[in-house]
A and B are shown apart, each in its own frame.
Chain A
């Protein structure tokens, strides 16, 4: 079975640029809409890129800010100044 890396975000205005950035940067992403939340799944790995979010947000964005809208996730977290990545790869 493919290991699914996943991120669930709130469905709100603050999360929208992050959701859009994930959709643009992760080919094959699958979307499960729920009331109030959206679950984004990818096989193996899913990434949020700082630059992509900033492009959509129009201001500097620190990947730690994702916690303000993060609901859940699956995968091993790798976080630094430029990205927030969940993956099952080593």
Chain B
């Protein structure tokens, strides 16, 4: 066509997405989009939205289908070749148990949450980006289920993942995190999950962890993990675009966004304590320590990001310094909790062997030998003497993050940190200043928390005794819970390996 000007890529994309939208007149716009004003966010001009990536549906289908064909080819071959017998050690499977019960259900929550913002944000460009992320998050849940399905055939603690997610005490930590985001308004959801979780923190979950899966011979998990991460370029650019867009639109948005960044950074930091424990304690072969991952992905990458966002007046999240200091403690303190409560957890625990202890000493020179190694050595000794340590009391939980109160005072790793506040005549308890601040900002929300220990005491969890509660959890006692040593998982693993050794002569 001579004489006609062809559209540039950007403009063509605008026609194919944002040009589709119109101002409704038969119904008022405020009724079509009823949820986007109560949070106080001011948007002057949605047309200033920069599409973070320019993917039309045809390209989406093409790229995603190619990724899926590759991924499922790996899953099929992993199953056919009984890949579960060639992982580094039977202990490794516990990582997958925690992953499927604790993390995959949150992928699903993200899927539904991005469908909410994909319908209810008033800007068409933001809606399209959110809808693609909604599709991606469903992908992540489903590929994780399909990957771990094969492990479920051989290892315990996996089979009841949705029910456990709804009921088991430690799984209320990730569940309440996402319930919090889901019950927030559409802009807070985008900051909570799109920015704080996807941009700031998800690298900590996926990159070192999936690298760990590769190192431990789990080729199916590393494939779903990296394949999921490949959607992440879009998610990260959406996360950063939303925060810039809100900050550019109106100066009144800054304090609201800062408050959300502070809140979701702290909540994310608490949630990722589970991942810290997986990396430092549960991967039989280790790639990097949690502390190293934190330094690369939060201190360095997050530092660069907040330096960039500083031009809008946004500051580093409150308590970022505390979180960085805690990176030297959090994995150890979490593992100690699960070790004590192994009878009530659907994965196995163990005391690290000498080689593992030495690795921890090397990776945590400031803290491990001083505070944690002696405890592990004592507990190992007690095991040998037949006095394995269990904590029979139910723990007090933090009202906000719902983690047992086991974290220590900033700067004093030998004193448990307790905070509390009064609200309408009741006392509420917290593990940290960060969690207390979050509560105090939205007390009417956080008093609603379904706290597992409170619920047990109120008789809502199957009965008054631990066996009653475990039955209600659908926990297969003696198989799903307790130490790895002596478990059916260990027995099976040892049989596979004895056979391998015998055959190898």
Contact = CB atoms under 8 A, between A and B. Distances in A.
Interface of A: 1, 3-6, 8, 10, 34-37, 39, 64-77, 79-81, 88, 90
Contacts of A65: 63
A79 to B, nearest CB: 7
B410 to A, nearest CB: 23
Contacts of A88: 304, 307-308
Interface stretch (B76-84, B228-236, B379-387): B228-236
**Interface size bracket, B side:** 35 or more
Contacts of B214: 34-37
Interface of B: 9, 52-55, 59, 63, 66-67, 203, 206-208, 210-215, 222, 226, 229-234, 236-237, 240, 287-288, 300-301, 303-305, 307-308, 311
A4 B240 contact: no
Nearest to A79: B53
Contacts of A76: 240, 308
Nearest to A71: B229
A8 B214 CA distance: 15
Counting chain B CB atoms within 10 Å of each CB, which of A3, A65, A88 scores highest? A3
A47 to B, nearest CB: 15
A36 B304 contact: no
Contacts of B208: 34
A64 B287 contact: no
Given A4-B301, A72-B203, A77 B226 contact: no
Contacts of A34: 207-208, 211, 214, 287-288
A1 B233 CA distance: 24
A88 to B, nearest CB: 5
B304 A70 contact: no
A81 to B, nearest CB: 6
A35 B54 CA distance: 31
A70 B59 contact: no
A37 B304 contact: no
Contact of B215 (A8, A35, A39): A35
A66 B233 contact: yes
Contact of B230 (A35, A68, A90): A68
Given A74-B301, A79-B53, A37 B211 contact: yes
Contact of B234 (A36, A67, A71, A90): A67
Nearest to B212: A35
Contact of B59 (A37, A39, A64, A77): A64
B237 A35 contact: no
B276 to A, nearest CB: 17
A68 B301 contact: no
Given A1-B303, A36-B222, A77 B232 contact: no
